[in-house]
Amino acid sequence: MKVRPAIIAVGRTRFGEHYEKEPEKLIEEAWLRASAEADIERKSLEACYLSDYFLPITNKFGLEEGFLSELTELHAPMEVTRSFGSALSNACNAIQAGRYSLVLVGGIEKMTDRWDKIRDDLMLLEDPWSFYAGCTPEANHELMLRAYIKKYGITGEKLEKLNVALAQVSVKNHLHATKNQCAQYQRKITVDQVLSARKEAGKPLGLYDYAPISDGAAALILTSEEMAKKYTDKPVYVLGSSSATDYLTYPARDDMTHFVVSRIAMKNALSMAGKSLTDMQVVELYDQSTVMEMVSLEDLGFCEPGKAWESVYKSCQDYKGYYEIGRKKLFVNMNGGLKADGNPLGATGGAQVFEVVKQLKGEAGERQVKNGEELKCGCVLELEGFGTKGYVYVLGRD
């Protein structure tokens, strides 16, 4: 990149059920935390990019841009996208083009304000044809697991270990979330609890295998590499980024066991950054279910296809805070992932970026990665729908 976008500050709210807070209070809280970190006033912002999926439905907003203009008392250019990854992509393009020099990227969601209908909304978002066939938001995750087991011929003792490995993903993420003050669920769970929930539901995946319904907001301030030096001595650069798309209808895809968008986006983002997989030290994966974390390890190239569950199972027998893959430590979802940190769709990607930025700056508190070497590079995977669109960001200090 001739002009490297630089993240100079990040902020977020706690994720959870915020019935008592209006949407503007949530995004304001995230913005204020970011602005305080970089000592920036709102009048200095030249543009804003906001992401949300359902805000016009859940809170009856017409134009989110107007909502944000009223909140900030600014008349700067503002655009709205679905995902935080998309908002960040637009902001990076603007910085690289020299259009703006200081940009706010924010994400917000108030999903619990439409609790009675939000599951229908989620399924229509993921795959309308499956919705009309009577599927639930959990259906595609179970279909993927069944297809994965069949494709790789996983039976007998191996199948038992795979099921335990998926439970360990949930246990691991809840463990990490106990050190995250902003997480929706800050409590430990056990493998037995995960397995019992599946047995009670009579399904391959149960309550503890899925991310929750959440409210929350996240924000970051983006500028150029040159401008970043005026605000902080520890900027984090967007070294590489990419996105890809796939068919909306999940059963119509060529491969129902993986997300091709993740593989393509990761390959292109690494190429742009001039980095390799071995450079990635801390990773935030989009674990809407335990299956998605397992599959994403393969899609991004960290594990061989059909083998990720083995690495998870072995690493979690005596969990030391990371997955050990090919003798390399990989720190995954240190904030608790979507599973325990929460999943307010429009803000979820912002929390992922927040975590990697804090880890790279050595400011993650109790959950700070300690692997005997300086953290220099990490990446974020955010998905829209059920792998219909994917964004990968490679972030680094160098």
Provide the pLDDT for residue 125: 87
CATH number at residue 45: 3.40.47.10
- Kindly report which listed range (62-66, 325-329, 350-354, 355-359) carries the lowest average pLDDT score: 62-66
Overall pTM surpassing 0.85 (yes/no):
yes
Q: Which two tokens stand for residue 24?
A: 């503007």
Task: Give CA–CA dist 376/391, Å, rounded.
Answer: 20
In a domain, 266, yes or no: no
Residues 286-306 as b or e (16 or more Cβ within 10 Å = b): bbbbbbbbbbbbbbbbbbeeb
| Percent of the chain residues topping a pLDDT of 70 | 99
Provide the pLDDT for residue 374: 86
| Eight-state DSSP code of residue 14 | P
| Percent of the chain residues topping a pLDDT of 90 | 88
Provide the pLDDT for residue 61: 81
Residues 136-164 pLDDT 10s: 889 999 999 999 999 999 999 999 999 99
Question: To which residue do tokens 């930025």 refer?
Answer: 357
Q: Coil, strand, or helix at residue 333?
A: coil
In a domain, 314, yes or no: no
Task: Give CA–CA dist 144/296, Å, rounded.
Answer: 12
Using alpha carbons only, give the angle 71, 75, 81 rounded to the nearest 5 degrees.
70
In a domain, 285, yes or no: no
Residues 130-152 as b or e (16 or more Cβ within 10 Å = b): bbeeebebbbbbbbbbeebbeee
Provide the pLDDT for residue 309: 98
- Kindly report which listed range (58-62, 285-289, 310-314, 380-384) carries the lowest average pLDDT score: 58-62
In a domain, 199, yes or no: no
In a domain, 342, yes or no: no
pLDDT band at 63 (very low <50, low <70, confident <90, very high): confident
When comparing pLDDT for 135 and 101, which is higher? Answer: 101
pLDDT band at 372 (very low <50, low <70, confident <90, very high): low
| Eight-state DSSP code of residue 288 | S
pLDDT band at 395 (very low <50, low <70, confident <90, very high): very high
243-254 average pLDDT score: 94
Provide the pLDDT for residue 351: 98
Residues 203-240 pLDDT 10s: 999 999 999 999 999 999 999 999 999 999 999 999 99
In a domain, 258, yes or no: no
Q: How many domains does the chain have?
A: 1
Inter-residue contact 393 to 239 (CB < 8 Å): no
Provide the pLDDT for residue 371: 76
Residues 101-127 pLDDT 10s: 999 999 999 999 999 899 999 998 888
pLDDT band at 343 (very low <50, low <70, confident <90, very high): very high
In a domain, 74, yes or no: yes
| Residue range(s) defining the domain that contains residue 52 | 5-116+213-228
Residues 279-337 pLDDT 10s: 999 999 999 999 999 999 999 999 999 999 999 999 999 999 999 998 899 999 999 99
- CA-closest candidate to residue 232, choices 48, 43, 7: 7
- Quick one: which H or E segment has residue 68? helix 64-72
Provide the pLDDT for residue 1: 64
Q: Coil, strand, or helix at residue 51?
A: strand
In a domain, 301, yes or no: no
Average pLDDT, the chain: 95
Q: Is the pLDDT of residue 73 over 70?
A: yes
Q: What is the CA radius of gyration of the chain?
A: 20
